[in-house]
Amino acid sequence: MEKIQFSIEIEAPKERIWNTLWEDKTFRDWASIIDEGLYMVGEMKGGKEVQFISSVSGYGVTSLVDKLIVNEFVLFKHMVDTKERGEQKREKEWGGGTESYILKERGDMTTLTVELDVPPEQIKTFKDRLPKALKRVKELAEEHTTTN
């Protein structure tokens, strides 16, 4: 696994960005840029398991919400790769890696930083798609801010 990190400045409060990241509708919007049809199943609570699954391929990963500070930080530990909409285990690709989301607010701006372990064969894809996904998070959060 290789660790990669990307950050983006967003003109919105951290609570709005957090909701943009994890509410089902907006999660599906930005996360589909990374993996088409990606959705999340489970509870965003410390110690709970969540699954990230593609509705297109049926492949995904089951992760532990290892550390959680709502509106500020979440650390996922990827435990096992899955297929068939999370029902079966598959060859290890993501298992053992981590993924974190950090929000730091300064005035009207919030920095969103994402750091994750990526399998070698996925590096190019993630270096291309993750910045685009973060740009979409920014658009969604800032759009939501201006419509309120």
**Domains of the chain as residue ranges with CATH:** 2-146 (3.30.530.20)
Pair type for strands 49-54 and 109-118 = unpaired
pLDDT at 148 over 50: no
Q: How confident is the model at residue 87 (pLDDT cuts 50, 70, 90)?
A: low
Q: 38-47 contacts: CB < 8 A, separation 24 or more? A: 41/86, 44/68, 44/74
What's the sign of the alpha-carbon dihedral 2, 116, 122, 110? Answer: negative
Backbone angles phi, psi at 108, to 5 degrees: -85, -5
Residues 6+ apart with CB under 8 A from 115: 3, 4, 5, 98, 99, 100, 102
pLDDT at residue 81, rounded to an integer? 83
**Nearest one of 90, 92, 94, 112 to 102, comparing CA atoms:** 112
CA distances from 143 to 20, 115, 117, 146 (A): 11, 25, 30, 5
Which residue would you say has higher pLDDT here, 87 or 48? 48
Residues 6+ apart with CB under 8 A from 22: 40, 44
Contact (CB, 8 A) for 21 and 138:
no
Backbone angles phi, psi at 80, to 5 degrees: -150, 140
Taking the complete model, does pTM exceed 0.85, yes or no? Answer: yes
Q: How confident is the model at residue 85 (pLDDT cuts 50, 70, 90)?
A: low
